Structure 1
């Protein structure tokens, strides 16, 4: 199935669940119910037991077990269920596509859980205009007996972090505050809140209908079901793919027509893989569900330097490791690409100083991405430091805002 943007295709390996019924485009309320049936009315204990039975993890970057998050909530006084649709990772498309094409599946998961928890509010944070329009239209097509609000958020990278989303919902800036309180304890308006990303709520809606046995008919024994993956880079068929959990990475790459070469798993806070044989896609290793094939025609270090510039530009401006540390690493990689040995030495030193000291996860994730590049592209580093470079141009294979998507 193909959306308006010819590059963004939806495809399925195995049985479609989240993407079921979307071959004709957006599913309105009637087509949604025809495809999935009515949403069961479950209590809190039932949701907890379902999530625990299948080992359901959140489908954002943290991959936190849903049952543990539910258990951490108090028995009463839960203020809101928050749907984090601020998908600010520039490569990922899975959450905004669910909001755009399957909004009722997301709403079923969010409103069903809100009723079970006794939460009076369902709050949806969205940064994509088309997704926001679709979810607002879906709300008008239903009567859930809850206060459901959609808030537009900025598309900056750090704006998708949970605490940044809560700040935006409260009318503040979409940046993570210095405090690190869990939303289950001090979330929306400092009251207990269940917050997760869009795919998590869609998965809950599917799980509620299928039950643990039906849900576990595909995927891993330890974490069954399906997952959404965004595939891009040096591939013939980029887009969003629904696969069973635990599918071989090599199968997804072949399915997408990926060129041979290194692969970035998890997006721009993820890690590089020099080889893909024997790698199976499951959480938390697959992180936000992003697979980027680099191919062999572009300069790896030049590509990484481009992304490092963008990552530095996304700083919330709240702490030294983010403001100064990432800027220093951009300069380090610039000098490294140009063959200056001091760039390599300074990068190693700065990469040891950044992690664990930031106000949010952005410095840590950026450092992980850059450190992984130095390790995997060691031969390219040697070629650049020898003065001749790798001989390949920088083709812009790694998407950044303003690029191919």
Structure 2
């Protein structure tokens, strides 16, 4: 059988938990997984709600919604669906693909804990990455031989487009429709896959649930910040400590993680391509509540730094064009707004004034059929606010004299 291995070996800042045993980048089979995390455990619905509430577990996708609240809002009955969203479609993000490729049994343990707590036997894993798909299928085959379980776990390939990773787009695709977010804002917990109440969350959330059940709430909370205990996965891009997936204890100061001096450090993007740019990370701690309070939500965990010797505005322009190309084309703010602001940023890059960009960014916000216009506007508006000196240099000289490095990827590494 093919040896499964991540393209880049993940690392841990401190003791690895989610990444225990795989920091060399090799697949953890069922025997290794059980030696590290013990036998599969389960919880009742009420017990799992209490345990996730005790450690303030937040979803590890963009919304950072309390897991206990989502669980408590679902009935425990056989018609409920469980969906693991592995459609990590942002080119800069690799954390969920790393989990699925290297520790799929941890993801499966978490999914089965949730399914058993909700008294359902239906689990669907949506994934678009070929290596992750292969690893999950291999893990399920191992379990069929050694640990057969009554739940039906299905792994489904989904499109790789950016907006296709949004949970409502995933559910639409799994139901046979277009993998785009529908205009209606019905929560999956009320009407999700096949019209049934659905617990849907991203891959790391399920891995965290498995870890919580394995360790227990007290041991789980021994690491990290009391506001959000435990560890979290990040994808680092750019300078400083290097690029790749890293597991860090929550509460870690962001400047301690990134490294680099003020002289050689450029602007930092927190939260990925629907995130926010900042010029100074001092005082920022890696907890979702703290970052949200600072106006820079962590979203799916991408932290990128453009080196000071590269043109940050060129990076923004390239990603703005890419975001425009990812529009689902189902509402005006997305179909027209994203393309218009991408042209505005390109004009600024070439030293031409764009007096309408601020108005266009405001017009995009809060009016889209999905979060793509809002996310694009946040990415661009925070960049222009953070990079005022660079924008001025381009306006005065037609450029800043620094090259476009292509630090922010536009094509996924598969």
What is the TM-score normalised by the length of structure 1?
0.95
* Contact kept in structure 1, 2:84 and 2:126, CA below 8 Å: yes
What CA deviation, in whole Å up to 9, does each residue of 1:340-369 have, x standing for no partner? 22x1x1111100100111110011000000
Mapping of 1:303-382 within 5 angstroms? 303-341=315-353, 343=354, 345-382=355-392
* Contact kept in structure 2, 1:229 and 1:242, CA below 8 Å: yes
Name the CA distance, whole Å, in 2 between partners of 1:75 and 1:211.
22
Q: Which residue in 2 is equivalent to 1:40?
A: 41
Q: Which residue in 2 is equivalent to 1:300?
A: 312
Mapping of 1:13-24 within 5 angstroms? 13-23=13-23
What CA deviation, in whole Å up to 9, does each residue of 1:37-72 have, x standing for no partner? 012221111110111000000000110000110111
Name the CA distance, whole Å, in 2 between partners of 1:92 and 1:282.
18
* Contact kept in structure 2, 1:234 and 1:259, CA below 8 Å: no
Change (3 A) 1:14 1:95: same
What CA deviation, in whole Å up to 9, does each residue of 1:194-225 have, x standing for no partner? 00000000000000011111001110112100
Q: Which residue in 2 is equivalent to 1:209?
A: 214
**Residue from 187, 194, 217 that aligns with 1:189:** 194
Name the CA distance, whole Å, in 2 between partners of 1:335 and 1:46.
56
Find the residue that maps to 2:201 and give its secondary structure. Answer: strand
Name the CA distance, whole Å, in 2 between partners of 1:78 and 1:376.
49
Find the residue that maps to 1:280 and give its secondary structure. Answer: coil
* Contact kept in structure 1, 2:6 and 2:101, CA below 8 Å: no
* Contact kept in structure 1, 2:227 and 2:287, CA below 8 Å: no
Name the CA distance, whole Å, in 1 between partners of 2:241 and 2:68.
38
Mapping of 1:100-179 within 5 angstroms? 100-142=101-143, 143-179=148-184
The Cα of 1:23 is off from its aligned counterpart by: 4.0
- Identify unmatched segments of 5+ residues in structure 1: none
The Cα of 1:235 is off from its aligned counterpart by: 4.4
* Contact kept in structure 1, 2:6 and 2:98, CA below 8 Å: no
* Contact kept in structure 2, 1:86 and 1:127, CA below 8 Å: yes
Change (3 A) 1:73 1:393: same
What CA deviation, in whole Å up to 9, does each residue of 1:93-146 have, x standing for no partner? 010110000000000000111011012210000000000010011111112211
Find the residue that maps to 1:84 and give its secondary structure. Answer: strand
Q: Which residue in 2 is equivalent to 1:95?
A: 96
Name the CA distance, whole Å, in 2 between partners of 1:131 and 1:43.
29
The Cα of 1:259 is off from its aligned counterpart by: 5.2
Find the residue that maps to 2:204 and give its secondary structure. Answer: helix
The runs of at least 4 consecutive aligned structure 1 residues that moved more than 3 Å come to: 75-78
The Cα of 1:187 is off from its aligned counterpart by: 0.5
The Cα of 1:401 is off from its aligned counterpart by: 0.8
What CA deviation, in whole Å up to 9, does each residue of 1:264-293 have, x standing for no partner? 000000001101111111115322111101
The Cα of 1:236 is off from its aligned counterpart by: 5.7
The Cα of 1:306 is off from its aligned counterpart by: 0.4
Question: Is 1:396 the counterpart of 2:397 in the alignment?
Answer: no
The Cα of 1:75 is off from its aligned counterpart by: 4.2
Find the residue that maps to 2:20 and give its secondary structure. Answer: coil
Change (3 A) 1:276 1:112: same
Name the CA distance, whole Å, in 2 between partners of 1:196 and 1:236.
29
Q: Which residue in 1 is equivalent to 2:244?
A: 239
* Contact kept in structure 2, 1:9 and 1:238, CA below 8 Å: no
The Cα of 1:172 is off from its aligned counterpart by: 1.5
